[in-house]
Amino acid sequence: KQEVTQIPAALSVPEGENLVLNCSFTDSAIYNLQWFRQDPGKGLTSLLLIQSSQREQTSGRLNASLDKSSGRSTLYIAASQPGDSATYLCAVRRYSGGGADGLTFGKGTHLIIQP
């Protein structure tokens, strides 16, 4: 059974710092890995999608890497801002019988950027 772990569970840093969020998964047979942002009481916003054949994806100040063989992904946030404060979720798209079904999620990293 696929398990996804995110470290750290919570992180508080001053504004302007670069930071790294970690995600690990136990089964390397995945289609892709997706990073999401969730604000309190809200739905999820997709940030980056990395296909299993890719090593990284970038969007603005965000960079996500994937090492499928070791079951690891990182989300790098450059020059953090208070508006980046949110919970960041990592999820892997898994195989199931005849094809892909839904995502398996980690529990998230709760990020606070101090002004």
Closest CA to 56 of 38, 74, 36, 40: 74
Verify binding: residue 103, another protein, rule CB under 8 A. yes
Q: Is the dihedral of CA 28, 105, 109, 64 positive or negative?
A: positive
Verify binding: residue 32, another protein, rule CB under 8 A. yes
Report, in Å, the least distance between residue 92 CB and another protein: 11
Please report, as residue ranges, which positions from 33 to 92 form the binding site for another protein (by CB under 8 A).
Answer: 34, 36, 41-46, 49, 51, 89, 91
Cα-based torsion angle of the residue sequence 92, 95, 101, 105 in order, rounded to the nearest 10 degrees = -20
Phi/psi for 95 (5° steps) reads: -80, 150
Verify binding: residue 101, another protein, rule CB under 8 A. yes
Verify binding: residue 23, another protein, rule CB under 8 A. no
Q: Which is nearer to another protein, 73 or 80 (CB)?
A: 73
Report, in Å, the least distance between residue 8 CB and another protein: 14
Give me the residues that bind another protein (CB under 8 A), please.
Answer: 4, 31-32, 34, 36, 41-46, 49, 51, 89, 91, 93, 95, 99-108
